[in-house]
Amino acid sequence: MSVDVACGEPAFLDLTFAGLDALPGAGEERFARDLLRSPGGGATIAVGAARLGLSVALASPLGRDADGAALRAALEAEGIRLNSRTVARTAVTAVMPVAGERAMASFQPDLALRAADLEEHHPRAAILSLTRIGCAPAGADLYAIAGDEDARLYGDGLPLGVSAARALVLNAREALALTGASDVAAAARILAADAARVVVTCGRNGAVSVQGGELLEVPGFAVEAVDTTGAGDLFTAAFTWADLGGAPPRDCLAWACLYAALSVRVSTAMAGAASIDVLAEAGAQRGLALPARYSSVQHEEETPQ
């Protein structure tokens, strides 16, 4: 059975220390108002895409430990297909949101992705970081993403596989680190020499993209941020959803920015990942029309029999 999207990024169990008034300094202890456990990392992308109505597989293997069991239960409840292969331990991140930003400390065991992990799901599209794009299945639309590790590894040039991607999606810090450019627009233009479309998310300032030499900029959506963890992952999920649905380039950016903005109003990306109905209503209030593929489906569902 095929799926719309397979995400090959490692799933983390996020431990969110909610309600801190400040980050602890060296030798200092501070207390949170709550401790929340939720899926993170690649699981955030998978959850976002699934809640937007796509059929989704998380291709990275889960751990056989208690944390992996918790992730498996949460993801299966979202209707996300999981891999048959498992590993010994689960990746874990401690998340400390403070004043609209967050600090994180992570443990990631060896979760080496294999091409077969994606191929078993026969995906229409795959979301993979620069270090993993060699695992992209033949014939699948590739959405390449970047992280801190990618920015360190590929500062001297992007991997060759990026040229085959429908889009390279990354944040402003990563784009600047990869290129050494002084501003985001310049960084996007430099990266576009190797990628067909470059999309750079700029947090509350919106996003920019370069495709075919054309620079597009969309503003962000003003919200009060509680926890920004996973906002970039949910941006990627919504951008992929919009692009696969046939939305024009500017609308792809706008939908992705809106989805990310909606997510930061509560603690944890899992709680912030909106359903398609919530996103569609928020988009309609801002003059956004659903992508063609989804608007026709919604119309059929709403038509009286």
Helix ranges (DSSP H) in the chain: 42-51, 66-77, 115-119, 148-153, 172-179, 184-191, 231-244, 249-263, 269-272, 276-285, 292-302
Which CATH fold topology does 3-11+41-63+115-302 show? Answer: UDP-N-acetylmuramoyl-L-alanine:D-glutamate ligase (3.40.1190)
- Domain boundaries in the chain? 3-11+41-63+115-302
- Check the CA dihedral 177-173-96-75 and report its sign: negative
* Higher pLDDT, residue 11 or 300: 11
Which pLDDT value is given to residue 37?
A: 95
Intra-chain end-to-end CA distance of the chain, in Å: 30
Residue 298 pLDDT level (bands cut at 50, 70, 90): low
**Residue 1 clears pLDDT 90, i.e. is over it:** no
Query: Could you tell me the pLDDT band of residue 302, with boundaries at 50, 70 and 90?
Result: low
3-state DSSP of 113-172: CCHHHHHCCCEEEEEEEHHHHHHCCCCCEEEEECCHHHHHHCCCCCCHHHHHCCEEEEEH
Kindly report, residue by residue over 66-105, the tens digit of the pLDDT.
Answer: 999 999 999 999 999 999 889 999 999 999 999 878 899 9
Given this model, what pLDDT does residue 147 score? 87
Confidence of residue 297 (pLDDT cuts 50, 70, 90): low
The tens digit of pLDDT for each residue in 229-273 reads 999 999 999 999 999 999 999 999 999 999 999 999 999 999 999
Give ∠ CA 233-102-221 in degrees, rounded to 5: 55
